[in-house]
Amino acid sequence: MSIGENIRAVGKESLVELDRQYMWHPMMPYSASQQPMVVAHGEGPYITTEDGNRYLDAMSGLWCVNLGYSQKSLAEAASEQMLEMPYYPLTHTHKPGIRLAEKLNQWLQGSYRIVYSNSGSEANEVSFKIARQYYEQMGEPNRWKIIARYRGYHGNTMGALAATGQFQRKYKYEPLAPGFLHVPPPDCYRCPFGHQAGLCQHECANYYEQVINWEIPETVAAIIIEPVISGGGVFVPPPEYLQRVREICNRYGVLMIVDEVICGFGRSGQPFGHQNYGITPDIVTMAKGITSGYLPLSATAIRDELFDVFRHDSEYAHLRHVNTFGGHPVACAVAIKTLEIMEEEHLVDRAAQLGQQLKTKLTPLANHLHVGDLRHFGLLAGIELVADKETKAPASPEFTAAVIAECKKRGVLIGKNGDTVRNFNNILTLCPPFIITDDELDHIVTVVKESIAKTTEQGVTA
C-alpha cells in the first residue's frame, strides 16, 4: 500500500491501532497508554473524541486552554501572521515579538526585558542561566546555586527537572544538572514542621534563610518558586509566605524567580499569581496560558534594574542563549490576540468570580469522609482524598483513579496529582477554562461530588 492509500484507509479503529503501533504517550503505564482517547474536535470548554464522546474539560487541556477550544480569532491571527511573515529568528526582531513584550510589561505592571522560548521548561532554563550570568558579571561567579521546593514542578529538561521537587519524575534520569537545592513546601495540611494550619511561625518560609546560611549566601544565585505549587497538588501558602521569602531574598542578595507557568495569565484571579501577594519578582517565567495553549510559546521576563548588568557593548556581556523557534512570530501574534481577548472580555475578573463560585460550591464536600482537604487559588482547586480523616492516610491510588474514571463516565475530565513513588497520588485537580458558564462550573462540582459518593458506595477501598 502506498503512503496515500494508507492514510485514506485510516478510520477511527485504525487510528487507535496506528497509535498503538507508533506512539509512546507520556506519564502513564503501558497498558493505560494503549487505550488512548483520540481527540477530534473542540468547542468552548468541550472536547469530542473520534468515537463521538463529548467531555467538559475541567483541566483546560494541560492547565493551559484558558479561552476554550473554539477561539476563531486566534486561528485568524495565526493565519494572517503566517501569510505576512511566517518566521524569522529573534537575533533580529519582529513586530509581534515587540508588541507582545510591550503587552507583557503591562500585565506584569513593571519594567521587564523579555526573552522568548517555546515551553515552560525552557523559560525556566533561561531564568537559571540569566541568574548565574548576572552574578558572574557582577563579579560573584561563585553564586550558582538555585533553591527550589519539594513538590514544586518546573519542567522536564535537565535543569528544570533538577529544580523540580517531585522525586517520581526524576529518579530514572539522574544525575541531573548540579546546583539545585530544595526546601519544604508550604503544605499546611501535612505541615512538614508538624504544625496545624494557621498556628505556625512560617517555618517553611524561614527555612530558606537557614539553607542560604548553611550553603553560604555568597554561593546562592536564586530561588525559583511557583506562587502556588500547582501541578504538585495545589499547595496554597499562608498569605504572608511570599512576602517573607522575598524579604529573605533581599537580605541575602538572592534573586527571586517566580514560575508563573500555570498561575499566570489570570488563573489566580489576578494577571499574575504573585500579584496576589504584593511582591515584585526579579525574574518571571511564563508559558501555557500565554497563547491559551493554541501554539507553543514561553517567556522569561527580567526586571529592568537587573538588565543593567547586561547593558554592555562588550562581546563578554551578551546573552549566550539562542533557540530557533523561541518567540516565533506566529505564536507571538496568537499570544497578543489571546491577551486582547482576555482584556476585552474582562476574563481575569471572570476567572476570579468563577474561582469564588468554585470555592463556595466545593466547600460542602469537606464533610465527605474521604475528603481530607480542599485548596483554592483563583480558578484552580485541589481536593485531597484520604482513607481516614483522623490519620490523614492518603486515599489509595485505586480510589482516586476510580473517582476520576467516574467523572469521565459522567462526561467531565478532571486531573490528578501527587507523589506516585510514596503512593500519595491522591489529589484531584480542577483548572477549568475561563469561558465556562456558571452552570457548567456547577455541573463540574456536582459531577465531582457524585463521583466521590459513588466510588465510596461501590466499596472501592480508599
H or E element that contains 307: helix 304-307
* Under rule CB under 6 A, residue 232 binds ligand PMP: no
Place of cell 489571546: 338
* Under rule CB under 6 A, residue 61 binds ligand PMP: no
Residue 226 CB, nearest distance to ligand PMP (Å)? 5
What is the rounded CA–CA span in Å between residue 17 and residue 135? 53
Measured from the CB atom, is 65 or 445 closer to ligand PMP? 65
User: 286 - beta bridge partners?
Assistant: 299
What is the rounded CA–CA span in Å between residue 406 and residue 88? 47
Binding segment for ligand PMP among 92-100, 118-126, 274-282, 436-444 (CB under 6 A)?
A: 118-126
Contacts of 104 (CB under 8 A, 6+ apart): 112, 114, 286, 299, 301
* Under rule CB under 6 A, residue 429 binds ligand PMP: no
* Under rule CB under 6 A, residue 231 binds ligand PMP: yes
Residue 266 CB, nearest distance to ligand PMP (Å)? 15
Binding segment for ligand PMP among 103-111, 151-159, 181-189, 214-222 (CB under 6 A)?
A: 151-159
H or E element that contains 417: strand 415-419
Strand arrangement of the beta sheet that strand 298-303 belongs to = 112-117, 298-303, 283-286, 255-259, 220-225, 145-149, 180-183
DSSP states of 47-82: EEETTS-EEEETTHHHHT-TT-S--HHHHHHHHHHH
**Residue from 57, 187, 259, 384 in contact with ligand PMP (CB under 6 A):** 259
Q: Residue 342: name the closest of 290, 284, 288, 274 by CA.
A: 290
Torsional class of 269: left (φ above 0), alpha (ψ -120 to 50), beta (otherwise): left
- Total residues interacting with ligand PMP, rule: CB under 6 A: 16
**Residue from 61, 68, 120, 266 in contact with ligand PMP (CB under 6 A):** 120
What is the rounded CA–CA span in Å between residue 102 and residue 374? 37
Residue 375 CB, nearest distance to ligand PMP (Å)? 16
Measured from the CB atom, is 119 or 429 closer to ligand PMP? 119
CA angle 65, 69, 75 (to 5 degrees): 100
* Under rule CB under 6 A, residue 66 binds ligand PMP: no
Measured from the CB atom, is 274 or 370 closer to ligand PMP? 274
- The rounded Cα 250 to chain-centroid distance in angstroms is 26
Number of H helices, E strands in the chain: 16, 16
**Residue from 97, 155, 227, 394 in contact with ligand PMP (CB under 6 A):** 155
What is the per-residue binding string for ligand PMP in 286-315, x denoting contact by CB under 6 A?
-x----------------------------
What is the rounded CA–CA span in Å between residue 181 and residue 150? 9
* Under rule CB under 6 A, residue 261 binds ligand PMP: yes
* Under rule CB under 6 A, residue 153 binds ligand PMP: yes
- The rounded Cα 263 to chain-centroid distance in angstroms is 6
* Residue 225 DSSP symbol: E
* Cell numbers given for 32: 493505560
Binding segment for ligand PMP among 18-26, 84-92, 224-232, 446-454 (CB under 6 A)?
A: 224-232
Residue 62 CB, nearest distance to ligand PMP (Å)? 6
Residue 261 CB, nearest distance to ligand PMP (Å)? 3
* Under rule CB under 6 A, residue 264 binds ligand PMP: no
**Residue from 60, 71, 117, 121 in contact with ligand PMP (CB under 6 A):** 121
* Under rule CB under 6 A, residue 149 binds ligand PMP: no
List phi, psi (to 5°) of 395. Answer: -65, 155
**Residue from 230, 270, 275, 300 in contact with ligand PMP (CB under 6 A):** 230
* Under rule CB under 6 A, residue 256 binds ligand PMP: no
Residue 181 CB, nearest distance to ligand PMP (Å)? 18
Measured from the CB atom, is 156 or 243 closer to ligand PMP? 156
* Under rule CB under 6 A, residue 165 binds ligand PMP: no
Residue 233 CB, nearest distance to ligand PMP (Å)? 12
Contact 220, 143 (CB under 8 A): yes
- Position with the least CB separation from ligand PMP: 120
Binding segment for ligand PMP among 120-128, 141-149, 338-346, 356-364 (CB under 6 A)?
A: 120-128
CA angle 335, 336, 338 (to 5 degrees): 60
* Under rule CB under 6 A, residue 154 binds ligand PMP: yes
Residue 339 burial (10 A CB sphere; 0-12, 13-18, 19+): buried
* Under rule CB under 6 A, residue 373 binds ligand PMP: no
* Under rule CB under 6 A, residue 119 binds ligand PMP: yes
Q: Residue 340: name the closest of 42, 74, 61, 64 by CA.
A: 74
* Binding footprint of ligand PMP on the chain (CB under 6 A): 63, 119-121, 124, 153-156, 226, 230-231, 259, 261-262, 287
